[in-house]
């Protein structure tokens, strides 16, 4: 049996999405910038996806810009804001649990002379709203806080954060990394006070290499990529029609079944959490209230077993999990999120992330628990030797 429990890293494409991508590669393969029929056919795929995303988010179609994925969207949000204010400088705020796609460009901007504040979080990974209020200054250009933490699944109080940002400084832009939230949560930027929002296709059963950045009309943002003037000059380059088409269909399918998918994934999360609670020396990270966690992520430490050892032992059984987030699993440094929530080193070194999708079956959870019951005693005996 195979159990794929690494959906936080990437998801399997919906068959319908793969079929659509194939059609755009082999039949409707025109350049959407071309004026002939083939170009118009290709452009229609982009228009349809823009309609879908604007409808899901309840925003204007002109506020959607396509990128190569979540990392580019996050980089553009921060660096594009900095470039728009490069003559005056300014101040950025991020949380201590941001994905490297936010924390790395923020650090780079700091090296270039911009001020940077990194907000601490509580033991469950949440930003303290009042500490944020104290951190916002007259020259604060942007605040970036993720909606769903990619490692422990904490849902941040986004609406409260947005309200504080805009009350304290109406000129400050609020950016949300929604890469783990889009497709799993209802997101309405206008109602929630979000000025920019990043999302990625391959987290929602769409293709890799495509994402989008929502940018409210009032936001001053400079392009990072110049060239042929595509996307109103904001992001030049031949449009990725297969990726954009696949992103749109995947998003539509996810949101057409959002509530049933959430119910299914929360049930899987509970099933796994209940099973882990019966095992010795297991610590589950994240919110104590499951309703305050995302439905598709559960992070646990298996004390006295290193993450990589357990990951490969499970892999030998056809079970696929992650030692932290996929983007940082090859690095030797400790998890930024587990460090920020003040996990002991022993827990950090033994942490594993399980992540689900609407395709995950309860049998996969049961198979994983059975494997853990067999593997953990043996691995701990081996470690003691």
95: left (phi over 0), alpha (psi -120 to 50) or beta: beta
Angle at 239 between CA 107 and CA 49, to 5 degrees: 95
List the one residue out of 365, 353, 362 whose CA is nearest residue 152: 353
Which stretches does DSSP call E strand in 258-318?
A: 282-285, 297-302
Which residue has tokens 């049930």? 267
**Catalytic residue flag (residue 343):** no
As to burial, measured by CB atoms within 10 angstroms (0-12 exposed, 13-18 middle, 19+ buried), residue 202 is: buried
Edge-to-edge order in the sheet of strand 196-200: 64-67, 211-215, 196-200, 173-177, 140-144, 91-95, 115-119
Spatial distance between the Cα atoms of 216 and 142, rounded to a whole number of angstroms: 13
Is 341 within 8 Å of 124 (Cβ atoms)?
yes
Structure tokens at 345: 């080193």
CA angle (29 as vertex; 36, 22 as ends), nearest 5: 155
Q: What is the CA radius of gyration of the chain?
A: 21
**Cβ atoms of residues 204 and 11 within 8 Å:** yes
Place of tokens 């059963």: 205
Which class for 280: exposed (0-12), middle (13-18), buried (19 or more C-beta within 10 A)? exposed
The residue annotated as part of the active site, out of 13, 185, 327, 343, is 327
The residue among 302, 284, 268 whose CA lies nearest residue 375 is 302
CA distance 5 to 237: 35
Tokens encoding 227:
């060239």
Hey, which residues are catalytic here?
327
């Amino acid at each position: 049996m195979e159990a794929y429990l690494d959906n936080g890293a990437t998801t399997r494409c919906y068959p319908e999405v793969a079929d659509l991508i194939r059609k755009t590669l082999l039949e409707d393969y025109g350049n959407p910038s071309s004026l002939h029929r083939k170009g118009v056919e290709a452009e229609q795929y982009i228009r349809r996806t823009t309609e879908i995303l604007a409808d899901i988010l309840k925003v204007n179609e002109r506020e959607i810009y396509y990128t190569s994925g979540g990392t580019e969207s996050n980089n553009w949000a921060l660096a594009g804001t900095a470039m728009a204010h490069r003559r005056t400088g300014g101040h950025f705020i991020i949380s201590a649990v941001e994905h490297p796609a936010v924390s790395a460009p923020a650090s780079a901007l700091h090296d270039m002379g911009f001020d940077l504040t990194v907000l601490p979080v509580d033991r469950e990974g949440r930003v303290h709203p009042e500490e944020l209020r104290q951190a916002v200054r007259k020259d604060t250009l942007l605040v970036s806080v993720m909606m769903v933490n990619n490692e422990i699944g904490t849902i941040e109080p986004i609406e409260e954060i947005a309200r504080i940002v805009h009350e304290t400084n109406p000129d400050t832009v609020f950016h949300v990394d929604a890469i783990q939230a889009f497709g799993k949560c209802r997101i309405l930027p206008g109602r929630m006070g979000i000025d920019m929002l990043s999302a990625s296709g391959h987290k929602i059963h769409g293709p890799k290499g495509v994402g989008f950045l929502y940018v409210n009309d009032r936001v001053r943002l400079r392009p990072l990529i110049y060239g042929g003037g595509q996307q109103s000059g904001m992001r030049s380059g031949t449009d990725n029609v297969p990726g954009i088409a696949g992103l749109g269909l995947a998003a539509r399918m996810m949101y057409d079944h959002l509530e049933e998918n959430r119910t299914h994934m929360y049930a899987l999360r509970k099933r796994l959490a209940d099973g882990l609670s019966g095992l010795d020396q297991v610590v589950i990270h994240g919110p104590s209230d499951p309703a305050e966690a995302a439905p598709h992520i559960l992070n646990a430490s298996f004390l006295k077993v290193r993450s990589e050892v357990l990951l490969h032992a499970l892999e030998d059984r056809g079970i696929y999990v992650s030692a932290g987030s996929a983007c940082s699993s090859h690095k030797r440094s400790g998890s930024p999120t587990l460090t920020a929530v003040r996990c002991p080193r022993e827990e950090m070194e033994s942490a594993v992330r399980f992540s689900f999708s609407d395709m995950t079956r309860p049998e996969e959870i049961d198979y994983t628990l059975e494997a853990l019951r067999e593997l953990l005693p043996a691995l701990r005996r081996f470690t003691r030797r």
